Structure 1
Amino acid sequence: MGENTTPLDVRDADRVRTLTLARPEALNAFDEALYDALTIALHEASDDPTVAVVLLTGQGRAFSTGTDLAEMAERITNPDFVPGEHGFLGLIDALSGFDKPLVLAINGLGLGIGTTVIGFADLVFKSEDARLKCPFTSLGVAPEAASSYLLPRLVGRQNAAWVLLSSEWISAAEAHEMGLVWRLCAPDDLLRVATEHATRLARLPISSLRAVKRTMVEPLARQIAEARERENQCFADLMGGPANSEALAAFAEGRPADFTGLPDGA
């Protein structure tokens, strides 16, 4: 996929820092550079006394289509692959530890981390034409970003089971009905509405905003850490295995994956 030397756009206004994923040519898929850029930006926003709220959105027709599968395949096959400084796990650390309100404006397609990031958000606005998907089973891997713990808390066991097990698209209406997102907006109104709400929060004292967030998320810290550890172990066990290899080969060849001929248990 094409390279973008500035994978993240950062803008400040009225104590709101808007972070815009800026790889539209790659549907804002996360390569190592974007993982690092967003991780650093979250740390900087947390430390900046002039920032009260962070708003995260994407350029183009996607919010984020998750991990860059071309780079994932290279990571598996190229022994000389050089990972980023922070990578996926560093980003999840930053999201989990982010101590100010995090508002999402989901402008388009959201796959993988483009959906599971919702578990770490405080308010989620979504375009009426945006769709979400957790494609883990279709990629032959496991959940990520503590989604196996956070999604059931958000939407209930059975809704979360369908989202995580099925690898099927979730419409905007379905996401709103199950409580995965807070508000639906017309596409042209999304950023304005999300920014208005973020700005209203940002007028309040940062110390109080931090205190509210801490009291809400600190009781979950141990369970989030344990869920991440379970998921990471499952992901490591499955990555590069028969199902994952078939999924990546199918992606590279532009065909549907066929898992029916895999060894028993794969």
Structure 2
Amino acid sequence: MTTRRPIHHKLVGTLTVDTEFGTFLGDTRIRLLEAIERYGSISQAAKAVPLSYKAAWDAVDAMNNLAEEPLVERSVGGKHGGGTSLTEYGQRVIALYRAVELEYQQAIDRLAKTLGEPGAGSVRQFQTLLRRMSMRTSARNQFVGTVSGLREGEVSFEVRVRLDDAHEIVAVITRESAENLELAIGLEVHAFVKAPSVIIVTDPETRTSARNHLWGEVTRIHPGPVSSEVTITLPSGRNVTSVVTHDSIDMLALAPGVPACAVFQASAVILAVFD
């Protein structure tokens, strides 16, 4: 009769930095950042993780939009059509994450010793207890900023949100929503805009009724069967994504490097505040 060897279990800590709308930093995104630093190419970094090319860019856009400073920057032109590299801030974020991860694992190891020799069931229960839950949103564009202006109307509030030194966005919400959110100047808020609500213009002389006009340049076009996702990168490194038909892309002559403006109504902006 064959004697089965006992299976030894080890508690392994997985460090994530979560927002209420999903993971901001985790092992996969950190490895993506490290691969970008190593290869200088988003396509090669995506293969190394591995991630799809689109998923890699989506992760980069999300991190750049939610961070205080961009973690990744693009360069265009050159013999090979440009590349991708980490900013100094991005390098510091990786170093901090890895240092905290090491401390976290050491704490888990010390805790495991105090548990004695737990059976498989105990380990699984503890791992379940440590698993973090997070909310998710379908909005493609997510921003973090501070309330820089409030204008009260009879039935609505106009809220200005400062994203950075050069950019503000405007949201119009109901009075009841403003009261529930307890909005005040300087309060940090999250702003969400669905990609189909964003239109793109390329002529600086174009006038629209929309309150929000964010100028930057096209950095990526991800084609789909009927329409494409077009990403516009602002000078600050933040990104805005729009869903545009193929005919519109041809009509506007959109391509990486082309100056473009993301335009959306104030009523298309959803605000959220977290305690």
TM-score range, shorter chain: under 0.3
- Structure 1 or 2: more strand by fraction: 2
| TM-score, normalised by the number of residues in structure 1 | 0.24
The structure that has the greater radius of gyration is 2
| TM-score, normalised by the number of residues in structure 2 | 0.23
